[in-house]
Structure formats: structure tokens, C-alpha cells
């Protein structure tokens, strides 16, 4: 079960989409709304607690039909079967891609090479639950007999971003444990965290799929040495646990087998928060909330697997994004959650999306001649309105944006919630509608400005509008709805990778920098400097002086 291998630009539907783009490129969103009072009904999906409104996009019914034809022509259905069925779709690493198995119900059977992976998935889940219960209840004691109060997750990339973002987003559901994250190899980062810890009551969770990552091992070693300067070797067992596929390296680090939570090589780092990598989440919010997160993700997987393309949220959002990326030549996409809880969602999705689909070689091993990958950025609303929104409203670039909001607030601050949602709704309306010259002039007349003043100022007050947005309006921020939301973006990544004919689940592009850093490290530590270009050599000399 491999992925199909088709150059998207050679398909009939690509040709039709190109012609269709030329035909409608000068049309305006506002006219679409004026001409069609059913536009919202046509271009929105209500599914469970999600309302997804994609009507404020530069699309017509025909656009979607052509995009769906394109998905069919590219073999998306077959690719989905291979993906969910445990096919080796991460071909360049020779692995299946089964993070979906981590959230599948117990009775499911998913095979890799005739082996059902589900019993082990559930055994690890049971181990996570029992460990978390003991730590949260205080039954698990530190080396001086005190209960654990602090947890430090040591990891980077997928071993940090997911657990950190989810823990932060579920802050409302948190228990008494103080959970922190150390990721950067910068010593000041780990030092700042150390300042806040009491060793007697701290649990260190080392997360590294490979257990070879420089940043994670450096931080883990520093913390271990610090710990051992206050406690004996035997105390490691109460204070250090590890999550990895590399059981040998964990043993060499000195962590006992009972403190190891294995992960499998068919789970990619950036898709791993659902596995034992999510231990810090489960500790922070308790195993029931962690399970609810998984339940939500599974519901989205099921929706994705079973829904026809036109009612399929990840498929529709992936297709619209391809429409902008490949036909409108949009350079980036913004993600704007209207909640502080999700302020780090854009950073999390940067890894998920850009490490997956930032690829320039197709599944034939040839350089692609079309755009792949989207640049993701963003920030939380309403803060972002006072930062980069100027650029979206009046800049020269086309920036499709996802607005994510929740109908209800968690603490029920009604006045705040009304204001938050008023901004949430008004911004997408403003981006779509804009403000014409006539409207700008009228406003200035009403303000009593002179004719000359109006003539000078009016051009700056015009908003072109016609800016596309998707609105994801979710009932409430719960572990389950967050699980659905993250799985939605994961499935969007999958769809786009299939349609761009690239391999989404490897990340060779991070290797070169790592390799060169090893040489540069020797230069920095040693007496001599190896052969480099003039810039690199000069920088090294400057550092060593």
C-alpha cells in the first residue's frame, strides 16, 4: 500500500483549475455574497461542536467541484486507505504513519506486517494512566519521601511543542502540578527553569524519539548532574522517566526499564503528542482529560475517513489552501485563534505543517516545478489585531487566514466574551468587505474635514477588502474539542502532501544544519578552525576572541 505518484500539474483538473482561475480572478467576494443569499449554507459545514464557515473565500461552486475532482484524480481516497491501513507511506524512512492508531478505540485492529499494533498502544496508555494517578495523588514520592509538585518536560521539536502547546491550551483543566518545559540548548533556558525547582519534589520527563538529539541530551545531562549533586544514583528511579524508541540509549542514561514509556517508530515526532510523548499533558490535566483529547482526535479521524469530500472539513480546508497556494500564488497562511489558551498554536503548527510539507522533491525523486508547503504564522486575537493586522488589511500580499474561536468562555465572563467575539466576527467581515473610496470620503465629510484634507487623506483610508478567511467556531474549549482541532490540521497536512505528490512524513531538511553544527562545535572548543567560507571563519574567530 504505497501512495500514488502523479505530478499534479499533469492532471485534467489542474488544467481546468488554471482556466477557472483566469476566468474568476477579478471577481469580488462581496459580489458573491450579494448575488447568492445561500452562499453561507453552500459553503459551511456544521459537524458536532464545530461550525466551519469557508464562504468568505474566493471560490465558487465550480471551484470546489474542480478541486474535489483534482483530489479524486490524484488518488486521495486510495492514499487515505493506505495511511489509515498501516501502509509504509513514509517511504524514505521505510515506515508506516500511524499516529491515528494512538487515538483509535481499544477494539480497533490495525496491522503493520501482520502484527496488530493496538494491544501495545493500549498497554502503554494503561501505564501512562497508572503512573499519572500515582504522581497526581501523591502516592509517588521523591527521594526524601515528599510528593511530586513540579514536572519538567525535557525535549525539543515534536517532543516539546505538542506537549507544551496542549498543556498551555488546557490550563483551565489543570491540577496542582507545576509543569514546565525545557527545550533550547541554551544553558540560560535550563538555568532559569532550575531556579524554580525543588529537587526533592521534581519529576524530570525526558522525551526524545531518537534519544540522540543534542539539545535534549544536553539539558537532560545538566539536570541529571545537578540532581546527582544532591541525591544518590538510586534516587534517579523516583525522579527521571523517559519516552523514546531508543531503549538502549535510555538504559545507558541510567533510567530503569519500569520508568520507560516506549514510543514506536511509526509515530512521527510532530504527530506524537497522542503517544507517551503526551505524558506531561496527562500529568498536567490528568489521564481522563488526556483520554478526552484522544477521543476528540479520533472523532475527527473518523469524520475525515468517512465523509464525502464536499462535507469533509480537513479535505475542504486543504483544497482551499491549495487553491490559494498554487493558483493565487499566496505565500503564507495566518492562523489566528481568538483565545490566549491557544497563543502557541501557530508555533506548534509551524512544525507540523512546515516540517511536513516544506519539500521540493516529489515522490519520483524529482524537483517539483510547482509550489508546495505553506508558510504558517499567526498569533492570538485580539492581540494580533494590534500587531500584524494592518498588513493583512492594507498590505500588498494575499494572506488567507483561519480564524478560530469558541462560542463560550470558560469562566463565563460574558462582557469580555461578547467583546472578544465581536472582534472575531467583525475582523473577517472587514477583511472581506473592505471600505471603498466613496465610503472613506463620506466618513471624512461627516467628520467635517475640508475638501483638500479629504483628498489628501482618503486614499489611506481605503480598504481593498476581498481578503479570504475561514472561520472555525467551536462550542467550547475542552480537551475533546482541542483534540478535534489538532487532528483537523494533521489531516489537512496529509491531504496536501498527497496532492502535492511529496513525502510529508520525513524531515531530511533538518539534518544538514545538525551535521555542520558538530564540526563548528569542534572549531569552537578546539584550538584550530577547520576550512569554511570567509564569513563562517570570521564569525568563528570573533566568537573565540
Positions marked active-site = 355, 386, 514
The 3-class SS string of 383-401 reads HHHHCCHHHHHHCCCCCCE
Residue-wise DSSP of 14-74: HHHHHHHHHHHTT--HHHHHHH-TTHHHHTEEEETTEEEE--SSS--HHHHHHHHHHHHHT
Helix (H) or strand (E) holding 303: helix 287-306
Binder to ligand F6P among 209, 363, 393, 433 (CB under 6 A)?
209
Q: Is 208 in the site for ligand F6P (CB under 6 A)?
A: yes
The two most distant CA atoms of the chain are separated, in Å, by 83
Nearer to ligand F6P, 216 or 372 (CB): 216
CB of 507 to ligand F6P, least distance (A): 5
Q: Is 210 helix (H, G, I), strand (E, B) or coil?
A: coil
CB burial string 181-198: b at 16+ within 10 A, e below: bbbebeeeebeebbeebe
Q: Which is nearer to ligand F6P, 150 or 209 (CB)?
A: 209
Alpha-carbon distance values, 307 to 80, 246, 316, 406 (Å): 12, 38, 11, 24
N- to C-terminal Cα separation, the chain? 57
Please list, in sequence order, all residues whose beta carbon lies within 8 angstroms of the beta carbon of residue 402, skipping any fewer than 6 positions away. 317, 333, 334, 335, 336, 469, 470, 472
Are 333 and 400 in contact, with CB atoms under 8 Å apart?
yes
Cell of residue 206, nine digits: 525526558
Q: Which is nearer to ligand F6P, 357 or 471 (CB)?
A: 357
Options 39, 270, 289, 484; binder of ligand F6P; rule CB under 6 A: 270
Nearer to ligand F6P by Cβ, of 74 and 151: the residue is: 151
Measured CA to CA, the distance from residue 403 to residue 198 in angstroms comes to 41
**What's the CA gap between 512 and 514, in Å, rounded?**
5
CA atoms 427, 431, 433, 439: torsion sign: positive
Size of the site for ligand F6P (CB under 6 A): 14
Q: Which range binds ligand F6P by CB under 6 A, 210-218, 227-235, 319-327, 377-385?
A: 210-218
Q: Which of 201, 213, 219, 321 binds ligand F6P (CB under 6 A)?
A: 213
For residue 216, the minimal CB distance to ligand F6P (Å) is: 5
**Mask for 110-149, x = binds ligand F6P (CB under 6 A):** ----------------------------------------
Lateral strand order in the sheet of 469-474: 44-47, 50-53, 469-474, 401-406, 332-337, 375-378
* Cβ 269 to ligand F6P shortest distance, Å: 3
Binding mask 353-382 for ligand F6P (x = CB under 6 A): --x---------------------------
Span from 33-41, 54-62, 150-158, 174-182 in contact with ligand F6P (CB under 6 A):
150-158
3-state secondary structure 433-493: HCECHHHHHHHHHHCCCCHHHHHHHHHHHCECCCCCEEEEEECCCCHHHHHHHHHHHHHHH
Binding residue for ligand F6P, selected from 55, 153, 167, 216, defined by CB under 6 A: 216
Nearer to ligand F6P, 95 or 299 (CB): 95
SS3 call for 246:
coil
**Of these, 178, 210, 310, 519, which contacts ligand F6P (CB under 6 A)?**
210
Q: What would you report as the CA-atom Rg of the chain, rounded to the nearest whole angstrom?
A: 25
**Do 462 and 436 meet the contact criterion of CB atoms below 8 Å apart?**
yes
CB of 517 to ligand F6P, least distance (A): 12
Instruction: Decide: 56 and 425 in contact? Cβ < 8 Å.
Output: no
Which segment (59-67, 156-164, 326-334, 453-461) binds ligand F6P by CB under 6 A? 156-164
Q: Is 501 left (phi over 0), alpha (psi -120 to 50) or beta?
A: left
Which range touches ligand F6P (CB under 6 A), out of 89-97, 157-165, 174-182, 468-476?
A: 157-165
Report the alpha-carbon distance of residue 477 to residue 340 in Å, rounded.
11
Q: Per CB under 6 A, does 20 bind ligand F6P?
A: no
- Rounded to a whole number of angstroms, the minimum distance from the CB of residue 208 to ligand F6P is 3
CB of 479 to ligand F6P, least distance (A): 22
Q: Would you say 243 or 498 has its CB closer to ligand F6P?
A: 243
Q: Which is nearer to ligand F6P, 63 or 159 (CB)?
A: 159
Q: Which is nearer to ligand F6P, 154 or 441 (CB)?
A: 154
Cβ of residue 309: shortest distance to ligand F6P, in angstroms?
Answer: 30
Within positions 34 to 73, which residues make up the interface with ligand F6P, using CB under 6 A?
none
In the complex, least distance from residue 19 CB atom to ligand F6P, rounded to whole angstroms = 39
Beta carbon nearer to ligand F6P, 426 or 521: 521
Window 473 to 532, contacts with ligand F6P (CB under 6 A): 507, 510
Q: Residue 269 interacts with ligand F6P (CB under 6 A)? A: yes
For 88, half-sphere exposure in the C-beta direction (CA atoms, 13 angstrom radius) is: 6
Q: How many whole angstroms separate alpha carbon 191 and alpha carbon 200?
A: 17
Q: Which of 55, 57, 90, 159 binds ligand F6P (CB under 6 A)?
A: 159
In angstroms, the CA 18 to CA 9 distance is: 10
Which residue lies nearer to ligand F6P by CB, 11 or 245?
A: 245
Q: Which stretch binds ligand F6P (CB under 6 A): 25-33, 154-162, 196-204, 368-376?
A: 154-162
Q: How far is the CB of 421 from ligand F6P (least distance, A)?
A: 35
x/- letters, 428..467, toward ligand F6P (CB under 6 A): ----------------------------------------
| CA-based nearest residue to 116, from 85, 161, 71, 153 | 85
Interface ranges with ligand F6P (CB under 6 A): 156-159, 208-210, 213, 216, 269-270, 355, 507, 510
Amino acid at each position: 500500500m504505497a501512495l500514488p505518484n502523479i505530478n499534479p500539474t499533469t492532471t485534467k483538473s489542474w488544467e481546468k483549475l488554471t482556466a477557472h482561475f483566469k476566468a474568476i480572478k477579478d471577481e469580488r467576494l462581496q459580489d458573491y455574497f450579494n448575488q447568492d443569499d445561500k452562499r453561507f449554507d453552500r459553503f459551511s459545514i456544521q459537524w458536532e461542536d464545530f461550525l466551519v464557515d469557508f464562504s468568505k473565500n474566493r471560490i465558487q461552486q465550480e471551484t470546489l467541484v474542480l478541486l474535489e475532482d483534482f483530489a479524486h484524480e490524484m488518488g486521495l481516497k486510495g492514499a487515505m486507505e493506505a495511511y489509515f491501513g498501516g501502509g509504509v507511506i513514509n517511504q524514505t524512512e521505510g515506515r508506516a504513519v500511524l499516529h491515528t492508531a494512538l487515538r483509535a478505540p481499544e477494539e480497533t485492529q490495525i496491522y503493520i506486517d501482520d502484527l496488530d499494533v493496538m494491544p501495545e498502544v493500549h498497554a502503554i496508555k494503561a501505564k501512562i494512566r497508572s503512573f499519572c494517578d500515582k504522581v497526581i495523588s501523591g502516592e509517588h514520592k521523591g527521594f526524601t519521601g515528599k510528593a511530586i509538585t513540579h514536572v519538567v518536560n525535557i525535549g525539543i521539536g515534536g517532543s516539546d511543542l505538542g506537549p507544551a502547546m496542549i498543556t498551555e491550551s488546557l490550563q483551565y483543566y489543570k491540577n496542582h502540578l507545576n509543569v514546565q518545559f525545557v527545550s533550547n540548548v541554551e544553558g540560560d533556558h535550563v538555568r532559569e527553569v532550575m531556579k524554580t525547582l525543588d529537587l526533592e519534589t521534581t519529576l524530570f520527563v525526558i522525551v526524545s524519539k531518537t534519544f540522540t538529539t543534542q539539545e535534549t541530551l544536553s539539558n537532560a545531562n545538566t539536570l541529571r548532574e545537578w540532581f546527582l549533586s544532591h541525591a544518590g544514583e538510586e534516587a534517579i528511579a523516583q525522579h527521571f522517566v523517559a519516552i523514546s524508541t531508543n531503549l538502549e540509549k535510555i538504559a545507558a542514561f541510567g533510567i530503569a526499564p519500569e520508568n520507560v514509556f516506549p514510543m514506536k517508530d511509526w509515530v512521527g515526532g510532530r504527530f506524537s503528542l497522542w503517544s507517551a510523548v503526551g505524558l506531561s499533558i496527562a500529568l498536567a490535566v490528568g489521564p481522563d482529560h488526556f483520554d478526552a483529547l484522544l477521543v476528540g482526535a479520533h472523532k475527527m479521524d473518523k469524520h475525515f475517513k468517512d465523509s464525502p469530500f464536499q462535507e469533509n472539513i480537513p479535505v475542504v480546508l486543504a483544497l482551499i489552501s491549495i487553491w490559494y497556494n498554487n493558483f493565487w500564488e499566496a505565500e503564507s497562511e495566518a492562523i489566528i485563534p481568538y483565545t490566549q489558551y491557544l497563543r502557541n498554536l501557530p508555533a506548534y503548527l509551524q512544525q507540523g505543517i512546515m516540517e511536513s510539507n516544506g519539500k521540493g522533491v516529489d515522490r519520483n525523486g524529482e524537483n517539483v516545478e510547482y509550489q508546495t508547503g505553506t508558510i504558517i504564522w499567526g498569533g492570538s486575537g485580539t492581540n494580533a489585531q494590534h500587531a500584524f493586522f494592518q498588513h493583512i488589511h492594507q498590505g500588498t500580499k494575499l494572506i488567507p487566514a483561519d480564524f478560530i474561536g469558541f462560542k463560550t468562555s470558560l469562566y463565563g465572563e460574558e462582557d469580555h466574551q461578547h467583546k472578544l467575539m465581536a472582534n472575531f466576527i467583525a475582523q473577517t467581515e472587514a477583511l472581506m468587505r473592505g471600505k471603498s473610496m466613496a465610503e472613506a470620503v463620506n466618513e471624512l465629510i461627516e467628520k467635517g474635514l475640508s475638501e483638500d484634507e479629504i483628498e489628501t487623506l482618503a486614499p489611506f483610508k481605503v480598504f481593498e477588502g476581498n481578503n479570504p478567511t475561514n472561520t472555525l467556531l467551536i462550542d467550547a474549549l475542552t480537551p475533546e474539542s482541542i483534540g478535534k482541532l489538532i487532528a483537523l490540521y494533521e489531516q489537512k497536512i496529509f491531504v496536501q502532501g498527497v496532492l502535492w505528490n511529496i513525502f510529508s512524513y520525513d524531515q531530511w531538511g533538518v539534518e544538514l544544519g545538525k551535521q555542520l553544527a558538530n564540526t563548528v562545535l569542534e572549531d569552537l572548543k578546539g584550538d584550530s578552525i577547520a576550512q569554511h567560507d570567509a564569513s563562517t571563519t570570521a564569525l568563528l574567530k570573533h566568537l573565540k576572541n
